[in-house]
Structure 1
Amino acid sequence: VIAVPAKTSGLPNERRERLDALFRTDPLLEQLQGELLEWGPGMAVVRATIQVAHTNFLGGGHGGILFSLGDIAMSFASNGYGRQAVATQIDISYHRAVQPGDLVVATATEINRSRRFGHHGVELVVGNRLVASATGTTYRTDEWHFGADQWSEEWRAKH
């Protein structure tokens, strides 16, 4: 899949390309046979098709798979500024069951961001049906992807 970056809010093109390459090496997304569809600072969209191996003992899609897709989307959204961020908390609600063959799309959107914390909303849908929703918090470290010297002082001060 070719990346279709979102509005990047001035994200330097070379850094966007490097972040895109980094995000596409996510081992769990690869293991889930998922795809990164779109991302930008503060937002990301990923998708994966529920496989039989993703089911629980009842035969439906395991909630852990939906949680993981939401977590991955939130990770790309929160790291999309170039500053390294890690999840500290995620709450998820499951609204509908998913089945093998369902294509789940997870969209993470930044709700608020401060110097240290980011807050995100995540919606997971199959077609036009909401199957799960989540909110999460990320801790924004002082570390920058590829080193702080790769990001302008102005960019670092804003993000």
Structure 2
Amino acid sequence: MTPENRARRCADVMWAKDAASKALGMQIDDIGPGRAVLSMPVAAQHLNGHGICHGGLIFSLADSAFAFACNSYNRVCVAQHNSITYLAPGQSGDRLIATAQEVTRQGRSGIYDVAVTTEDGRRIAEFRGASREVSGVHFEEDT
């Protein structure tokens, strides 16, 4: 199995159970070893009291992209620490795009950066996630 096929299969297995990301309107746009791109439209139900996209939903999009990137090797990974810096507001009608990229993987730990942008490239947030491998795989592979 190629690394690209492994990453896709891991994403398919996770996506089938990911009710939260689906409920927020997210979709997987690209996936590969150590990387993932997810997007989400900003709709009326995503707006906070200031009339802009709620920061928790921006965090959720970045966190989901991080999750698909760090789980792309067929090893079950969870977050051990995440942080986000908000740079600009998401507006109603925007399509937010979270691009996750592996920075490093050492032993059972990994570091991933996620840039959240709009379709026209406006930077909304920067997220950094630290992952930890736990026991288990997403699917059994032929050896």
TM-score of the superposition, structure 1-length normalised?
0.82
Q: Which residue of 1 aligns with 2:39?
A: 47
Give the CA deviation at 1:103. 0.4
Unaligned runs of 5+ in 2: none
Q: Does 1:18 align with 2:9?
A: yes
Give, as a single letter, the amino acid of the residue that structure 1 aligns with 2:10: L
Q: Which residue of 2 aligns with 1:97?
A: 89
Q: Higher relative CO (CA 8 A, sep ≥ 6), structure 1 or 2?
A: 2
Pair 1:16–1:139, CA change in 2 (3 A): closer
Bigger radius of gyration, 1 or 2? 1
- In structure 2, what is the Cα distance between the partners aligned to 1:12 and 1:43? 10
Give the CA deviation at 1:23. 3.3
SS in structure 2 at match of 1:22: helix
SS in structure 1 at match of 2:58: helix
Give, as a single letter, the amino acid of the residue that structure 1 aligns with 2:117: V
- In structure 1, what is the Cα distance between the partners aligned to 2:20 and 2:7? 21
Give, as a single letter, the amino acid of the residue that structure 1 aligns with 2:78: V
Matches within 5 A, 1:1-159: 10-11=2-3, 13=5, 15-25=6-16, 26-126=18-118, 127-147=120-140, 150=141, 152=143
Give the CA deviation at 1:116. 1.1
For this pair of structures, how many residues does the alignment match?
A: 141
SS in structure 2 at match of 1:39: strand
Cα deviations by residue, 1:99-144 (Å, 9 ceiling, x for unpaired): 1111000000000001210100000001211110011101111311
- In structure 2, what is the Cα distance between the partners aligned to 1:77 and 1:24? 13
Cα deviations by residue, 1:25-66 (Å, 9 ceiling, x for unpaired): 221221111110011110000001011111111111000011
Contact 2:8 2:72 in 1 (8 A): no
Give, as a single letter, the amino acid of the residue that structure 2 aligns with 1:74: F
- In structure 2, what is the Cα distance between the partners aligned to 1:93 and 1:12? 30
- In structure 2, what is the Cα distance between the partners aligned to 1:125 and 1:118? 23
